[in-house]
Amino acid sequence: MYIKNLKLNNFRNYKYFDVDFGSGFNVIYGENGQGKTNILEALFMCATGRSHRTSHDIDLINTEAESFCIDLFFFSGGADKNIRFRYNDQKQKSISVNDINIRKIGELMGNLNAVIFSPEDLMIIKQGPAQRRRFIDIALSQIKPYYFYYLQQYNKTLLQRNSLLKQIKKNRSFIETIDIWDSTLSSLGENIIKERKIFSKEICELIRENHFYISGEKEELKLLYEPSVEEGDFLKKLKQNINGDIERESTSLGPHRDDFSYFINGENLKIYGSQGQQRTAVLSS
């Protein structure tokens, strides 16, 4: 798989941009502020459907325009393929793969696999669990598109369960309907936990090897998956915690509460790691 061509229309600082890429190693260079990172951002959006720098697509429209368009042409699986991403200031988004419009972001996952390393990635270690879950979820969704479906359905069910918890706090009789949401949430959650366990085990060895090489064989990096509930116990724990969840009006455990921690030579990187160690740990990932 390799990218052949990228065209940008009214994306960030580019009114129009057209560039060809080689099948090997490509270097993008230029002065500060010319838009090098914007090119990488556009490529990443074609792989994941979202920017790595903002959650608001409207921010990506050139200040002198009302919409933007990204056209990406790449080679994969022995054939030429293309992805088109459009968005306007009316918040209308359209994505097509090989000139066929897709209805869900999940249909985009797996067509173009991309990994990006940027200064923002240091937040994976420095900030809270949400950043680390997002990092893992994006990587997993590209490798296994069905995982993205699990996530979407889980998050929808979680919102519905939390809404019901608020109703139950006001009127206890609604508790009779919680079982169906617990069953659905736990089923989806178990799938997510299982996939995260498998992935973290596989990537841990790669991360260890990468960092061992970068550090000159002086440091051993380990990624530890810390689920908030063990696989097979989710439904039971939901029932055990029901009173606390009603009081808090939110679900206290599940994949949305999981965390991933980095350790170098047995020390927690977030607490004891230097800036350089944090940077190489993210790069190793």
Indicate the SS3 state at residue 12: coil
Determine the pLDDT at residue 113.
93
Determine the pLDDT at residue 115.
86
User: CA separation (Å) from 206 to 109, 203, 224?
Assistant: 22, 5, 13
Determine the pLDDT at residue 100.
96
User: CA separation (Å) from 239 to 174, 178, 185, 201, 276?
Assistant: 15, 9, 12, 29, 44
Determine the pLDDT at residue 279.
87
As a whole number of angstroms, the distance between CA 183 and CA 180 comes to: 5
As a whole number of angstroms, the distance between CA 17 and CA 41 comes to: 14
Determine the pLDDT at residue 276.
87
Nearest to 141 by CA among 185, 102, 188, 199: 199
Nearest to 223 by CA among 263, 259, 183: 263
268 forms beta bridges with 263
> What is the mean pLDDT, run by run of 10 residues, along the chain of 285 residues?
97 97 95 94 95 93 96 96 96 95 92 86 86 92 94 97 97 94 98 97 92 91 95 96 97 97 93 88 87
Determine the pLDDT at residue 187.
98
Determine the pLDDT at residue 171.
95
